[in-house]
Amino acid sequence: MASPAFESMMSETILPALNNLALNRGIVLIGLMGAGKSSVGRRLAKRLDLPFSDADQEIEKAADCAIEEIFARHGEAAFRAGERRVIARLLDGPPQVLATGGGAFMDSETRTAISEKGISIWLRAELAVLLERVLRRNHRPLLKQGDPEQILLQLMAERDPVYGLADLTVSSNQGPHENVVEDIVEALQRHLAAGLKDEK
């Protein structure tokens, strides 16, 4: 946890600097299902006084049906195409904290758009943590195709190397989401400081 001195410095200098950075670039959370993107994203947005959007929820609004229904009726390819359009629209809007679906960053067009208009943060969690979280709810279309643990292992093997292209990586394992928010803010602080140094 951050020290009181760090908290004081954060409120006086770091948060305004982060907000200034966000005037031009949003903060985009990526990672596998169960990494905590939505839960952490809401808390991060509140901490930074920014709007929050969940890409999956925005896709459902645009399609007027649940993601599970989109998969069932039209297939994954159609879902990914809609996801690409929705994320592009959100990135063109006001700066915000954006939680994306697990497969969004795998799309090269979406990845390029995020790189150009946002700061990408990979919320990385261990298999056991992901499995425990995703099994709490039965609404993941990809997990209905077989054994959830094996599917997650396969997804980790396929996606982790691409997730590794993100600007920042933050652990999202067991513990309060507030701790992850603190780690993200500190990582953004370092990222901002490095960027300012490069500009000099």
CA distance 95 to 16: 14
Lookup: tokens for 11:
């409120």
What size, in residues, is the chain?
200
Lookup: tokens for 90:
């959100």
Tens digits of per-residue pLDDT, 106-142? 999 999 999 999 999 999 999 999 998 888 776 666 6
CA distance 111 to 179: 27
CATH architecture for residues 4-190 = 3-Layer(aba) Sandwich (3.40)
Out of 7-11, 43-47, 118-122, least confident range: 7-11
Domain boundaries, the chain: 4-190
Q: Of 66-70, 142-146, 180-184, where does the model show the most confidence?
A: 180-184
Mean pLDDT of 42-58: 94
Provide the whole-model pTM. 0.85
